[in-house]
């Protein structure tokens, strides 16, 4: 049973230590505190499989921020003579051994890491020496929508990981709303430079000349699953509360987006066209 990944397993039996789940060949323990209420023998559960501090294969229904062969931007919870321990969303901390640190990591620090399986111990670990894990061959194209992992802020903008494969940069001029370190969001490839560096934008090419109000509505739509419960008959106070703009400005901005066929209007609100 692969360590560091998700598995959908059947509940074989429930005992005092927890539930034993099986893939038909191998059993793994799901400790009692992670068993969802109402779980019965024969049920299927999606779990994350890893090794505990005693090297036993174990699983959890908690959701880690990343799994094996993925990048993550994580906070250091503690550091010792073994290495640094990262908070990655489950009870067991993730180790960055000293040999996998560029500089000594300290408590409270955030860092970009890559999760790998240690061949000697079969344990999941992380490395801050991430450069070698980025793909050299460019696998994205200009204008393509991509998945972004927000990393650290620089003087130029924000570093990102693109599609879990490449490094990229969102320049300050392309940051139209706040992003948080560790966020996973959508973006667009703006330019691929001759040296292989990739510029990223948070909006599609061709929308640069939108008025501020129209761009603000577009950003809110993208942050709210493509829908806003506002329309031309909405109360001005509701528009002000949600969008921090006047109803007049709101209607003009909506008109701009509608003419560009970026949105659909209805009696219930505004929907982003995909």
CB pairs under 8 A, 24+ apart, for 268-274? 268/229, 268/231, 269/227, 269/228, 269/229, 269/230, 269/231, 270/217, 270/221, 270/227, 270/228, 270/230, 270/231, 271/226, 271/227, 272/218, 272/221, 272/222, 272/226, 272/227, 274/226
Paired strand residues for 84: 79, 96
Instruction: Tell which of 102, 131, 160 closes a domain.
Output: 131
Per residue in 177-226, pLDDT tens? 678 889 999 999 999 998 889 999 887 765 555 677 888 898 889 888 89
d(CA 66, CA 168): 19
Residue 140 lies in a domain: no
Instruction: For residue 225, give the CATH number of its domain.
Output: 1.10.10.10
The mean pLDDT of 65-69, rounded to a whole number, is 96
More confident residue, 253 or 94: 94
Instruction: Tell which of 131, 154, 170 closes a domain.
Output: 131
Residue 158 lies in a domain: yes
Total structural domains in the chain? Answer: 4
Specify the 3-state DSSP secondary structure of 100.
helix
The mean pLDDT of 78-106, rounded to a whole number, is 94
Which is it for the CA torsion 269, 226, 264, 219, positive or negative?
A: positive
The DSSP H or E segment spanning 30 is: strand 27-31
Residue 176 banded pLDDT, cuts 50, 70, 90:
low
Q: Which single residue is written with the structure tokens 């509608």?
A: 258
Q: What percent of the chain has pLDDT over 90?
A: 67
What's the whole-model pTM score? 0.74
Q: How many residues are recorded in the chain?
A: 274
Q: What percent of the chain has pLDDT over 70?
A: 97
Q: Which domain range does residue 56 map to?
A: 6-60
What pLDDT score does 205 carry?
Answer: 66
Query: Does residue 120 sit in the same domain as residue 76?
Result: yes
Residue 136 lies in a domain: no
Residue 151 lies in a domain: yes
What pLDDT score does 147 carry?
Answer: 96
Query: Does residue 76 sit in the same domain as residue 125?
Result: yes
The DSSP H or E segment spanning 22 is: strand 18-22
The DSSP H or E segment spanning 250 is: helix 247-259
Residue 43 lies in a domain: yes
Specify the 3-state DSSP secondary structure of 217.
helix
Residue 246 lies in a domain: yes
Instruction: Tell which of 36, 60, 84 closes a domain.
Output: 60
Instruction: For residue 37, give the CATH number of its domain.
Output: 2.40.50.140
Residue 121 banded pLDDT, cuts 50, 70, 90:
confident
Specify the 3-state DSSP secondary structure of 133.
helix
Residue 1 lies in a domain: no
């Amino acid at each position: 049973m692969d360590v560091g990944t998700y598995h959908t397993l059947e509940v074989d039996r429930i005992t005092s230590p927890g539930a034993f789940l099986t893939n038909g060949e191998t059993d793994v323990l799901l400790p009692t505190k992670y068993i969802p209420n109402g779980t019965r023998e024969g049920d299927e559960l999606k779990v994350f499989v890893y090794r505990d501090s005693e090297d036993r294969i174990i699983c959890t229904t908690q959701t880690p921020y990343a799994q094996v062969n993925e990048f993550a931007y994580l906070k250091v919870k503690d550091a010792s003579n073994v290495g640094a321990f990262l908070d990655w969303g489950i009870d067991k901390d993730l180790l960055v051994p000293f040999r996998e640190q560029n500089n000594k990591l300290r408590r409270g620090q955030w860092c970009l890491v890559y999760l790998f399986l240690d061949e000697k111990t079969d344990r999941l670990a992380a490395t801050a020496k991430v450069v070698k894990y980025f793909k050299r061959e460019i696998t994205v194209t200009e204008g393509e929508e991509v998945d972004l992992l927000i990393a650290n802020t620089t003087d130029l903008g924000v570093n990102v990981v693109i599609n879990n494969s490449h490094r990229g940069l969102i320049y300050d001029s392309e940051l139209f709303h706040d992003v948080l370190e560790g966020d996973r969001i959508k973006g667009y490839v703006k330019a691929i430079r001759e040296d292989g560096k990739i510029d990223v934008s948070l909006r599609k090419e061709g929308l640069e000349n939108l008025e501020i109000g129209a761009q603000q509505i577009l950003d809110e739509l993208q942050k709210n699953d493509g829908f806003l419960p506002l329309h031309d008959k909405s109360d001005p106070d509701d528009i002000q509360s949600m969008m921090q703009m006047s109803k007049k400005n709101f209607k003009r901005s909506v008109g701009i987006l509608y003419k560009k066929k970026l949105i659909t209007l209805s009696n219930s609100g505004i929907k982003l066209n995909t």
